[in-house]
Amino acid sequence: MAKTALITGVTGQDGSYLSELLLDKGYTVHGLIRRSSSFNTERIDHIYQGPEEENRSFLLHHADLADGVALVNLLRDIRPDEVYNLGAQSHVRVSFDAPLYTGDITGLGTVRLLEAVRASGIDTRVYQASSSEMFGANPPPQNERTPFHPRSPYSVAKVYSYWSTVNYREAYGMFAVNGILFNHESPRRGETFVTRKITRGVARIKAGLQTHLHLGNLDAVRDWGYAPEYVEAMWRMLQCDAPDDYVVATGEGVSVRQFLEYSFAHAGLDWREHVRYDAKYERPSEVDALIGDATKAEELLGWKPVVRSRELAGIMVDADIRQLSDQLAGAAVRVDR
């Protein structure tokens, strides 16, 4: 029989790719969306508004990780085989400005969901979106045995969620896993994360719409992979015989400066002529270097990364140039009328 999944954070980068993956595998996919005063379904509109056959397998429900009762009701109604908890206030810099909100959604939200699974009495497997940010100050390479040293309200909340997931596994025998994912990007990445900010900036500079890009710390090193490959690892974790926790990463560390070089060079530009420093993008405490060791995922899940950061920068720059030229063409048509 076809499986059913519930995804929190379905409107985000990973939620959209995971929806596509599960629909391709024949799942019925339920997405939790929160009410917004403006459209927040841009990344999934192509699925939701797709062919009728696909529509019946992709259903959206209004709820919020702040609302535990809504979560229980939703789980009782849907009775999913798998739950993917991708919903979060996921921006590290923002978490310093909104630490309580971040703790509530990114931390307590996970416990509300785990409790809702327990309270509804359903037999479901739970994936928790844990993060390499939890390693924080501990130097690379980081793997499943590296201790956590979180450096932001966001990563503190993720550590709480990580241990809650382990605790529900140990205390109640729940099939609950942590995917400790290192940074992963794509053309659907939020515009305020550094990779997308850079590739979007390249497209706008190339088109003559802006001359400069303002950034913070260029020395930080991240292990940037390709999001569509990472959602495959999430799914594989829930297909195992026993629940466990896995690091997912490429193993390649690249500085923000290097990613700038790749992105600008791909469009035939020199980043030094266009980038300005702005202290407002610095964090009160920074994570200097994250480079993952995904040996366990490779051995036990058979998962291997393909796209590396230079190629990733090219994919994202090309997509942003295409998107901008489509937007400009659309605007020109509207002016003509």
CA 69 – CA 336 distance, rounded (Å): 51
Q: Is the peptide bond before 141 cis (omega within 30 degrees of 0)?
A: yes
Shortest separation between residue 152's beta carbon and ligand G4F, angstroms: 8
Choose the stretch contacting ligand G4F; rule: CB under 6 A; options: 23-31, 61-69, 108-116, 190-198. Answer: 190-198
Q: Which of 40, 192, 211, 327 binds ligand G4F (CB under 6 A)?
A: 192
Measured from the CB atom, the residue of 122 and 315 that comes closer to ligand G4F is: 315
Q: Are 133 and 150 in contact (CB under 8 A)?
A: yes
Number of residues that bind ligand G4F (CB under 6 A): 22
What spatial distance separates the first Cα and last Cα of the chain, rounded to whole Å?
A: 52
Q: Length of the chain, please? A: 337
192 binds, among ligand G4F, ligand NAP, none (CB under 5 to 8 A by kind): ligand G4F
Q: Is 234 in the site for ligand G4F (CB under 6 A)?
A: no
Q: How many CA atoms lie within 13 A of 280 on its CB side?
A: 4
- Burial of 100 by CB count in 10 Å (0-12 exposed, 13-18 middle, 19+ buried)? exposed
Q: Is 187 in the site for ligand G4F (CB under 6 A)?
A: no
Describe the chain by its helix, strand, coil percentages, rounded to 5: 45, 15, 35
- Burial of 16 by CB count in 10 Å (0-12 exposed, 13-18 middle, 19+ buried)? buried
Shortest separation between residue 16's beta carbon and ligand NAP, angstroms: 8
Q: Tell me which residues in 16-75 interact with ligand G4F (CB under 6 A).
A: none
Choose the stretch contacting ligand G4F; rule: CB under 6 A; options: 70-78, 280-288, 292-300, 326-334. Answer: 280-288
Q: For binding to ligand NAP (CB under 6 A), which residues are involved?
A: 8-9, 11-15, 32, 34, 36, 40, 64-66, 86-90, 105, 129, 131, 181, 183-184, 190
Here's the x/- map for ligand G4F, 124-153, by CB under 6 A: it reads as -------xxx--------------------
With H, G, I as helix, E, B as strand and everything else as coil, classify residue 209.
coil
Shortest separation between residue 86's beta carbon and ligand NAP, angstroms: 4
Nearest Cα to 146, choosing from 130, 157, 125?
A: 130
Identified catalytic residue from 17, 27, 84, 154: 154
Q: Is 154 a catalytic residue?
A: yes
Q: Annotated binding residue at 212? A: yes
Q: Is 90 a catalytic residue?
A: no
Q: Is 202 in the site for ligand G4F (CB under 6 A)?
A: no
CA 233 – CA 235 distance, rounded (Å): 5
Torsion of CA 233, 235, 238, 244, to 10 degrees: 20
CA 293 – CA 246 distance, rounded (Å): 10
CA 331 – CA 199 distance, rounded (Å): 21
Identified catalytic residue from 16, 19, 131, 155: 131
The contact set with ligand G4F (CB under 6 A) reads 90, 92-93, 131-133, 182-183, 192-194, 197, 215-217, 220, 222, 256, 281, 283, 286, 290
Annotated binding-site residue numbers: 212
Annotated binding site for NADP(+): 212
Catalytic residue positions, numbered: 131, 133, 154
